[in-house]
Amino acid sequence: MRRAHLELPYIALVASLYALGKLATAFIPTPWGTGQLLIFIIIPVFFAFYMKPLSIGLAAALGTFIGDSVFLTSFGLTNPLLSLIAGVPANFVGFYLMAWWFRKFKSWNAFALGSFISLLIGNFIAAAGVVFYLSMFIPSLIVGGLDVKLALILGFTLFWHVTMYPLVIILNPIIFKLANPYVSSKLRGLTPPTWALSKPSFGLPMFIIALFFVAIFGLLQFTGIGEALSIASPTGTKETLAFLSLACSIISFIALTFTSISKR
């Protein structure tokens, strides 16, 4: 087991890469004008294969704070205080949990489920933090009571989740396979879990996740949940989230089918 101080350079590396990744989409806001579309969540997810839970949690928290403070603040999408309240704890908890999960449950199915759960929890923490900040420091932006706050939390959580998870489940296995030989040979002390060296293969967990996104689509389109979400959402947000949820379900089914065929 490597000593904790040996991961300090990698914490700095991941934090820097993640901050630069946030820069790449810093100009793309959420529908509510706070926070961003975060595509390069795939960077800390990749390093969660290699690093200890505490190390990747610290790296993701530091990276999001740097990215928010240096880049997103200039676009008016966040500020250092908001980042400390929402982004920092969300990234620390989410990636700590993800790295722990990858070590506890050793399979690609565990990767699919663990990344899903970790991102969902992290996004919920971030969403709750954003709504808390708006309520406390910019109350004029919160029109209404508890129902509006809950709608905002649900909206932020869903937006971030349905834009992050498809990229993680499709791109991270590919990136890992391409980059691992270089990482293992050039970055001393970074060793992936044995299961990650096998061919990606998804089964029942991915099927359940796909059905989850189908259910979200149905709830948004055909029940009062979608209307409740519209209380605090710009025009078209409900339809956008429903479409993205449906796309997530299709991508999940594709990933499940492709890996099932490749095993034969």
Tell me what pLDDT residue 263 has.
Answer: 60
For the chain, the first-to-last Cα distance in angstroms comes to 37
- CA 230 to chain CA centroid, nearest Å: 23
Q: Which helix (H) or strand (E) holds 187?
A: none
Tell me what pLDDT residue 5 has.
Answer: 63
98 and 114 in contact (C-beta within 8 Å)? yes
Backbone angles phi, psi at 71, to 5 degrees: -110, -55
Query: Over the Cα atoms of the chain, what is R_g?
Result: 18
Beta-ladder partners of 36: 29
> What residue type is assigned to position 187 of the chain?
L
Tell me what pLDDT residue 1 has.
Answer: 45
List, for the chain, all residue ranges whose pLDDT scores fall below the cut of 70.
1-6, 139-144, 262-264
pLDDT tens digit sequence for 79-131: 999 999 999 999 999 999 999 999 999 999 999 999 999 999 999 999 999 99
> What residue type is assigned to position 62 of the chain?
L
- Retrieve residue 86's tokens: 């929402």
Give the pTM: 0.93
Tell me what pLDDT residue 223 has.
Answer: 87
Q: Please tell me whether residue 29 adopts helix, strand or coil conformation.
A: strand
Other Cβ atoms closer than 10 A to 82:
24
Backbone angles phi, psi at 229, to 5 degrees: -60, -35
CA-nearest of 154, 57, 135, 36 to 100 is 57
User: For the chain, what are the domain ranges?
Assistant: 4-262
